Structure 1
Amino acid sequence: MTEEKLLMEKSFYETFLIDNESTLHPIEVLGAAFVEEQQNEPYDLTYIRYAQGEVYFHSKDYEAAIFKWESVLNELEPWAKKNIADSYYALGMLSSAEDVYTGISTENPVLTMEISLQLFHLYIERSKLKSAYRIIEKALGIDPDYPHVSQLAKTFYEEQQDWKNAVGLAVGESIRTGSEIWFRSLLEYAEMGYTSVYTPNYFYDVLIAVYEKDRPLFRDLVQSLWTSFREVPETHIEWMATVNTIFEYVEPETGERWGEISAEFQNAYLHFLEEGYLVKEIEGFMPALLANWLKISKQEQPLFASAAVMAWSDVFAYSMDPEVVEEAERLLLQGEYPAFKMEETLLLLNKIISWSEGNGAPVSYKMKWIAEQLLDTSQQYLVVAGSESSGKSSFVQSVLGESVGEAEHSTVVYRYHRDQVEVTEVHERGAEKVESIADFEELMERESFVEYRLPSDFLQKNGSALIDVQANSRGMKDLTSFYPAADGLLYVLNADAPFNAEDRKTLRTLKEIGQHVNVHFLLNKMDKIDHAGHSEEIIESARTKAREWFPSAEVLPYSSLEAVHLQQRDVEAFLKNHYFHHPGELKRERRVKLFYLVRKTLKDLFSQRKNQELGLQEAIEKNKDILVRLNGFHTYLEDMQHDKTKDIKDSFRKKKEEMKKEISRKVPEILSGCSDLITEESDFRQIHTELNEAMNARIQSYIQEDLMPRYMILLENWLQSSRQELQDGQDYLHEMSTTFNELFGKDRVVLQCDFQVVDDWKRDVSRMGTRAQIDKENILLKFKPGQFLLKSAGKLFGGIPQNKNLLHTQYKRYLENEDYSETAESVANKFFVQFDLFEKSLDQDIQSFFAEPFNQLDLTIKETEAEVAAEEETLKKMKEHPERYFDPITLFEVKLLHDEYRMKAGAGSTRPSY
């Protein structure tokens, strides 16, 4: 046993017992040695005292032990101090123990480790966790191989739930020791998800170390780490880069099982294709991912990986190693693989539809409906199309054996139903059952198609469904949708005029689709042909022309007027010979059609975005042009309101001024004419009062009986002309409303004026016409010199008869020559006071008349400005980050190609059809 070990275990005293074979207690032996040493000259009791302290310590006499060790001053002094601290620790004097431990200075690594471990336990007891962390990290840094240090640290980290340090310790120890124990500790942490606190590349070295020592354990650790990092999106891509780097180092051995890791590669591949990542985010690591995946899977199940390599290479040819692509193609050609399940492609289509709805470009539900029908191989779908003059719908109803309404405007899918008729409307956003058959005709007018289930011997016997499509401008969209997904197309021709312009246009459109469909022709209305020989010529001519379009086409003559049951056999035989497929062949063709349908959906989504951008740009330019027009019209409306106000007020003022002038002329005449009221018999003492009353009476009579009626006629004329003036303005506003609504493409601008204003004017004018009474004028009762002298003379001389002639002459002369302009002005002012107020209100009234058009115009301008701003912002976002829309479509294309390669491999081929 080494001296350090003895010192560590406090067994140094045993060195004094080696030569002593007696059964004496160590205290007695050491006591005797103490006495014996004292006999030496000089003597050294240090070692004996150190040993005595150990014995006392083991006997739990800690105070005696401390006393002994305090005397040790030689090379054992650091150990003695450590033992003194141990004694304080044992006595529970933790603070004293800590002071002694931390005061020891030594370069002995063993002693340093022992002190560190003791301090570590002491710090834990004193809840000084920071110090505990510091001291255990120091111990690990000095000697991680020191007994129990790493395990002690592992336990401590786990108790503190410090998974970062626990994982770091496991990684470090795994690399340093290559021990399976630490490998499995790291695996345990990974399985619990604790490794995600580190970045993925942190585990590169340890994974390489595990791979070199234990390959099965390496696979388990990779899978656990993969699961851990898959849950953290921001580190998932970084993990893939790490995996790719690691697997460049991996070389699978014969018979080695990599199935679970291959599944992780597969899940990652699908995840990055389908979860909205951009191409730039994944194109850096995807080629290496595919190459590594192919490398580990080719001994077991290479189909998925090989198809993925081929699909990615087709879209991103620049990124794949040609040797990897060749290897993938070889594996697809040489392998025997199970048949591809069409449901997977439908699942992909559903994902595409879901994505499209969240990105402002929803795919029509009709596309999904057609795809679902392709999965049902128990029925074969025959599209029946033809021009409006072909009698197509009559033919369909004749073979169905039931009149179900004319499908002249909408597409109808006729399917067999055992018990009763069921009608379902299939529109852009979904499908809804129609409860009332009476609504069927109404459905024909909608932008949808109808699924019509009915009891039909023809449909049941032939296991088929008929899709009746009208080949006109409205039905062409349905025809081009159903055509590539149909098991066959029967094009109905009118025997009177086969292959007319409408037929040729339709057939040209179908040819341009470029998808193979079994097309044949039905020559309808043969009953109109004169004789049999002519019929054969027409049939042969039709067959020749049909084969110019479709080389394998056949022609079936038919007449809806002949016995249906006889012709049905011909139709059934024709369908059986030229359309209906063996179930296996039907499945193969349906797979191709389904892939075409999904690819068409992707192409449509691509085009739709381009059309959206173009549409937005056109809408912005159109709305900006409309805004210029709206603002210009707003200015024009302000001018029109000003002009209308001026014209109407000028007209009113002109009529009022005419009456004022008349009053100024007429009132003086009336007042002068009052001189005829004066006679020699008049009472000149009171005549000025009597004349004043008489004058006012004549003025009032003039106003009420003459002036007001004529003025009311003038105002009525003014009202009529004003109404017409405003009506002209309203008519113009209606024209402008129509113009702007045509520009907007919808009824958006309504410029309706408030004609209640005119009705209020009429009411006000009528009310003013009843207020002809004005206050009396003081005509002869004023304190004027002339009037004063006359009134004084009248009072003085009015009672003297001989003076009456003189007074009569003077009064008469005065009345006839007096200036009444002031009175006339006063009468006019009193008479027109209410009309003046009315005139002043005309400005506000005409503003009220035009108020609503201005409000509507302002609102339309604001809304249009907001639309332009929103459209410009949308277009800006589209152009700033087009990859956010187009990249998912590209990756959906990769997934579609992947499925198509799998399908072709299952059928013994490799290259997908485009």
Structure 2
Amino acid sequence: MTLEDQLKQKTYYKMFINEHEDIHPILVLGEAFQEEATKDLPNLSSIRFAQGEVYFHHKDYEAAIFKWENITEELEPWAKKNTADAYYELGLLSTAEDIYTTISSDNATLNTEVALQLFSLYIERGKNDAAVATIKRTIASNPEYPNVTEIARAFFEGQQDWNNAVDLAVSEAMRSEDLNWINVLNTYVDKGVTKGHAPSYFTPALIRLFQLDKKIFEQLVSSLWKSYEHEESYFTWIREINQLLLQLDLEREDNWHELSSLHKNSYFNLIEGRYFIKMLQEFIPDMLTNWLRLADERNVVLSSAAVLSWNELFPTTISLSIVSEAEKLISITETDIDELEESLSLFDSIIDWAAAHDMGENNRFKWLVDQLVDFDRQHLLITGLTGSGKSTFINTVLGDDLQDSPTSSIVMFKDGKEEEITEITDREISRLDGFAEFQERMDRRRNALESIIEFRSPNGFLQENKLAFIDTPGLKGNHNDRYEVLKNLQVADAVLFVLDGNAPFRDKERGILVQIQELAPDIPVHFLLSKMDTIVGEQEAVRIYQETESLIHSILPDANVFAFSSQYERGQQLKDIKEFIRSIKTTRNLEDRRLAKLLYFIRTIIASLLQKRIDVENQLVESIRWNEEMYTKLNGAVNQLKDTEVQKTRAISKSYRTIRETIQQDIAKTVPAMLKECSALIKEDSNFSNIHLELNDVMNRRLQEYLEQTVMPKFYSSLQDWISYSKEEFDQAQEFLNEMGDGFNQMYGEEHLALVCDFKVLDDWLRDTDRMTSRFQLENVNILLRRTPSQFLLKSAGKLFGAISQNKAMLYNKYKAFVENEDYAETIDEVSKQFFQPFELFEKSLARDVTLFFKSSLRNLETAVEEAKLGIESNQDLLNKMNTNPEMFRDPLTLFGVRLRQFEWMTVAGKGIQTVY
């Protein structure tokens, strides 16, 4: 054991024991001390140091401290360290820390031991930052010290201090080149605790690891790749790792299976339409370059196709040497990749993207692709000029009068367990209710070619021959009209061109044939010579057949020609047709042909979606313009309706006030006269002491009778007329709103806006007027019992002089004159007030009621205004995004084109370099 080991383990004292192992160390050291003390120049430090160790081991820490405090020379630093250890054991941590921090030495072992003790002390005192700093300094100064890195690792992991743990693993892996540290780092990556580190942080370690062990290098790269995959730093990682790989000497023979798979999956994820090309261009070329350099056997063709397709779209972004290598590899390497599955996956990606970006359901394309992958039956497209006899042929073969009028849509006839007729358009797929509705679809003309009809029914001929007929509308002379019919040619495996035997293969048919060959040059075309029974003479029929066949073969040498007549015996005719169809069926490479057609349809849908993007932009512009126009007109309509509401409120309220004022005038005119007539009730022999009471009662009774029997009926009648007048006003308003609504609904193209008023208001008015005019009770009016001076004097005189007979004549004349000359203004006011009091609330609510009448219509108009406003804002926002970021639509479709071109390259793998189209 070395001296340093003895000092570390506090076993320095054993140097003094030697042969005295059976004697207690304290006794041995005591005797040694006494012996040394007798010398002229005693050196007692080493013995005291040893004694301190023995005391320490026996937990007599105070004695140990006493011994170590007097140590000098080379053992002094170790004595200080041991003294601090003793205070540490006594629990005097602060004192121990002070001593540890004052130790200064050039001895690396001592310094490391002191640091480790401080490290433990800091942990115990909860000073984690100090502990981290101490252990990091220790590793930096003496990383080879036994267990120091393991101690640090355990501490960092225990504290879940993953940044420092990762730093330790990376630095130790690079320093020591110990692959165990790479394994530790890999576990950290798998835990997900390295995501916070920049990808470039790991580059130096990866470079070193590549030199040490390529397989472990691949494992670590794979782990890091997966950890960054869903992080914001993913693109940074892709750039960093591919720039690193470009610097490394990669050999395909090293079998980089995992890296090859990672490049493949990441590349396809990146080009599936979620990212802009401008961003991808920064790292895709490097990524494809590296993928080709390290691609394993399963991915050599795929990576080569990816390089070539990307290079076609973005020339010069990939080095010429890599492009040349890709061309070489794809020309000599066969592939077992399921191209059909990959193509269908691409098609589904495009359809999903289109649906997510409001580009329609594209049901026609879905249906067409479904037919292409139905390898159990072949598709024979039957076409010809209108009137060529095409429908007769189909009816004869299928045994039903399915086509009793010209076809307007594309129809596919299939064998099925039961009759099922389906109409497919881009927007929807709908089930037709039987043959009658199918025939109705066939009779239509407008937008007929926008749909495809699939007609399934039990049919022995189609089942036996594993065949489906695709019937087209009759072709006409116009090139564009023919294109609309023939644009679905690619779904067919062969074409049967029906010719009229009476005028076969004219210039018009030849023009159609040229167009078919332009649209689908690889689809074989055969001919059916129809209506042969209408030709007079068998010799003439044979001549026409031979001449027609000769003309056809001069253009299409491989085409077959079949003579057909609906008058021939059906059984024999079907047998001949069966043989003919067997002769023209495609029997070789059907799946390869269908794959080429699938790629054609994928290219077609990409082109159509690009056009749809333009159409969407135009539709948005038109929608904004239309909504702006509607917004202006609807706002104008709102103002018109409000003006109408104000005008009707004024008219109806004015009419009501006129009635009330008329009644008030009648009351003001009639009541005074009626009350004055009561003077006839005053007689000379009347009891003038209470005559005023009797007169007041009589007057009230007459007022009650007048108001209830005369005024109220008249008022009721007037109110009925007023309600009738109000209804006319409301009817006019409703008629005006109906015209307004019809105008707007014509612009909407549907019954979108309902401007219906609430005529229940009139019912409420009728009910209220019936209730309020059914009975009237006048509260007793104080007519002659007022405390006016004249009344007061008259009543007082009646009481005072009424008993004296000679004074009655005078009182009679006075009372009579008073009753006849009184103006009764207060009485009139009081009577009017009582009469109209029940109607006050009614009158005040007229404006509110008229508002309620128009409320629903106004609300609907205002809702339409808000809809138009939202339509402007939302469409303008989308249009701005489209114009600001045209790549939102263009880039995904461009990338879909890259993927399509990639599959096209794969179809020629191992066959030499050539293009599909």
Superposition TM-score, scaled by structure 2 size: 0.77
- C-alpha deviation, 1:70, in angstroms: 2.4
Residue matched to 1:737: 741
Structure 2: distance between partners of 1:354 and 1:157 = 47
Q: Alignment partner for residue 308 of structure 2, among 292, 307, 310?
A: 310
Residue matched to 1:563: 569
Structure 2: distance between partners of 1:662 and 1:89 = 118
Task: Tell me: CA distance 1:104–1:564, structure 2 relative to 1, closer, same or farther (3 Å).
Answer: same
Q: Alignment partner for residue 278 of structure 2, among 261, 277, 280?
A: 280
Say if 2:311 is the partner of 1:341: no
Residue matched to 1:460: 463
- C-alpha deviation, 1:360, in angstroms: 2.1
Q: Any conservation in 1 of the 2:331–2:910 contact (CA below 8 Å)? A: no
Residue matched to 1:621: 625
Task: Tell me: CA distance 1:68–1:450, structure 2 relative to 1, closer, same or farther (3 Å).
Answer: same
Q: Any conservation in 2 of the 1:411–1:475 contact (CA below 8 Å)? A: no
Say if 2:179 is the partner of 1:180: yes
- C-alpha deviation, 1:264, in angstroms: 1.7
Residue matched to 2:906: 902
Q: Any conservation in 2 of the 1:343–1:375 contact (CA below 8 Å)? A: no
Structure 2: distance between partners of 1:47 and 1:836 = 123
Task: Tell me: CA distance 1:495–1:194, structure 2 relative to 1, closer, same or farther (3 Å).
Answer: same
Q: Any conservation in 2 of the 1:484–1:516 contact (CA below 8 Å)? A: no
Q: Which runs of 5+ in 2 are unaligned?
A: 675-682, 692-702, 780-789, 792-804, 806-816
Structure 1: distance between partners of 2:500 and 2:721 = 70
Q: Deviations over 1:573-603 (max 9, x none)?
A: 443444x21232x222111111111222222
Residue matched to 1:487: 493
Where do 1:107-506 residues align within 5 Å?
Answer: 107-124=106-123, 129-230=128-229, 232-253=230-251, 255-274=253-272, 276-297=274-295, 301-338=299-336, 340-385=338-383, 392-403=390-401, 408=407, 411-417=410-416, 420-421=418-419, 449-470=452-473, 479=485, 482-492=488-498
2:155 is aligned with what amino acid?
F
Q: Any conservation in 2 of the 1:46–1:74 contact (CA below 8 Å)? A: no
Aligned-pair Cα RMSD in Å:
6.1
Moved more, 838-847 or 44-53: 838-847
Q: Any conservation in 2 of the 1:415–1:452 contact (CA below 8 Å)? A: yes
- C-alpha deviation, 1:153, in angstroms: 1.9
Structure 1: distance between partners of 2:52 and 2:278 = 72
Task: Tell me: CA distance 1:93–1:627, structure 2 relative to 1, closer, same or farther (3 Å).
Answer: closer
Q: Any conservation in 1 of the 2:32–2:47 contact (CA below 8 Å)? A: no
Q: Any conservation in 2 of the 1:664–1:821 contact (CA below 8 Å)? A: no
Task: Tell me: CA distance 1:170–1:839, structure 2 relative to 1, closer, same or farther (3 Å).
Answer: closer
- C-alpha deviation, 1:431, in angstroms: 6.4
- C-alpha deviation, 1:257, in angstroms: 2.2
Structure 1: distance between partners of 2:909 and 2:900 = 14
Task: Tell me: CA distance 1:506–1:770, structure 2 relative to 1, closer, same or farther (3 Å).
Answer: farther
Structure 2: distance between partners of 1:256 and 1:392 = 63
Task: Tell me: CA distance 1:511–1:738, structure 2 relative to 1, closer, same or farther (3 Å).
Answer: farther
- C-alpha deviation, 1:247, in angstroms: 0.9
Task: Tell me: CA distance 1:59–1:482, structure 2 relative to 1, closer, same or farther (3 Å).
Answer: same
- C-alpha deviation, 1:296, in angstroms: 1.8
Task: Tell me: CA distance 1:634–1:649, structure 2 relative to 1, closer, same or farther (3 Å).
Answer: same
Structure 2: distance between partners of 1:47 and 1:840 = 117
2:302 is aligned with what amino acid?
F
Where do 1:652-691 residues align within 5 Å?
Answer: none
Structure 2: distance between partners of 1:844 and 1:193 = 69
Residue matched to 1:581: 586
1:467 is aligned with what amino acid?
I
Q: Any conservation in 2 of the 1:427–1:449 contact (CA below 8 Å)? A: yes
Task: Tell me: CA distance 1:770–1:321, structure 2 relative to 1, closer, same or farther (3 Å).
Answer: same
Task: Tell me: CA distance 1:77–1:566, structure 2 relative to 1, closer, same or farther (3 Å).
Answer: same
Q: Any conservation in 1 of the 2:51–2:64 contact (CA below 8 Å)? A: yes
Task: Tell me: CA distance 1:441–1:89, structure 2 relative to 1, closer, same or farther (3 Å).
Answer: same
Q: Deviations over 1:776-812 (max 9, x none)?
A: xxxxxxx99xxxxxxxxxxx9xxxxxxxxxxxxxxxx
- C-alpha deviation, 1:277, in angstroms: 2.8
Paired residue secondary structure (2:397): helix
Task: Tell me: CA distance 1:177–1:706, structure 2 relative to 1, closer, same or farther (3 Å).
Answer: closer
Task: Tell me: CA distance 1:649–1:462, structure 2 relative to 1, closer, same or farther (3 Å).
Answer: same
1:158 is aligned with what amino acid?
E
- C-alpha deviation, 1:43, in angstroms: 1.0
Structure 2: distance between partners of 1:907 and 1:439 = 51
Q: Which runs of 5+ in 1 are unaligned?
A: 671-682, 690-698, 776-782, 785-795, 797-813
Identical aligned residues as a percent: 34
Superposition TM-score, scaled by structure 1 size: 0.77
Structure 1: distance between partners of 2:10 and 2:202 = 43
Structure 1: distance between partners of 2:148 and 2:667 = 125
Q: Alignment partner for residue 751 of structure 1, among 750, 755, 779?
A: 755
Q: Any conservation in 1 of the 2:252–2:294 contact (CA below 8 Å)? A: no
Q: Any conservation in 2 of the 1:507–1:549 contact (CA below 8 Å)? A: no
Q: Deviations over 1:260-295 (max 9, x none)?
A: 221221122122223723323322111101111111
Task: Tell me: CA distance 1:754–1:159, structure 2 relative to 1, closer, same or farther (3 Å).
Answer: closer
2:171 is aligned with what amino acid?
G
Q: Any conservation in 1 of the 2:727–2:762 contact (CA below 8 Å)? A: yes
Task: Tell me: CA distance 1:645–1:532, structure 2 relative to 1, closer, same or farther (3 Å).
Answer: farther
Structure 1: distance between partners of 2:496 and 2:82 = 105
Q: Deviations over 1:395-450 (max 9, x none)?
A: 32321124557695655432234x55455665657768889788766887898655
Structure 2: distance between partners of 1:568 and 1:375 = 28
Task: Tell me: CA distance 1:381–1:299, structure 2 relative to 1, closer, same or farther (3 Å).
Answer: closer
- C-alpha deviation, 1:234, in angstroms: 1.6
Structure 1: distance between partners of 2:168 and 2:764 = 94
Moved more, 861-870 or 31-40: 31-40
Say if 2:866 is the partner of 1:867: no
Structure 2: distance between partners of 1:547 and 1:722 = 87
Q: Any conservation in 2 of the 1:416–1:460 contact (CA below 8 Å)? A: yes
- C-alpha deviation, 1:144, in angstroms: 1.3
2:598 is aligned with what amino acid?
L
Residue matched to 1:889: 893
Task: Tell me: CA distance 1:460–1:336, structure 2 relative to 1, closer, same or farther (3 Å).
Answer: same
- C-alpha deviation, 1:5, in angstroms: 5.2
Q: Any conservation in 2 of the 1:410–1:475 contact (CA below 8 Å)? A: no
Q: Any conservation in 2 of the 1:304–1:902 contact (CA below 8 Å)? A: yes
Moved more, 288-297 or 107-116: 107-116
Paired residue secondary structure (2:382): strand
Structure 2: distance between partners of 1:517 and 1:622 = 46
Residue matched to 1:612: 616
Q: Any conservation in 2 of the 1:339–1:903 contact (CA below 8 Å)? A: no
Where do 1:630-779 residues align within 5 Å?
Answer: 630-641=634-645, 727-754=731-758
Paired residue secondary structure (1:904): coil
Q: Deviations over 1:337-362 (max 9, x none)?
A: 33653122112212222232222224
Q: Deviations over 1:113-170 (max 9, x none)?
A: 1211233344456665444323211211222122332233223333444333222112
Q: Any conservation in 1 of the 2:757–2:857 contact (CA below 8 Å)? A: yes
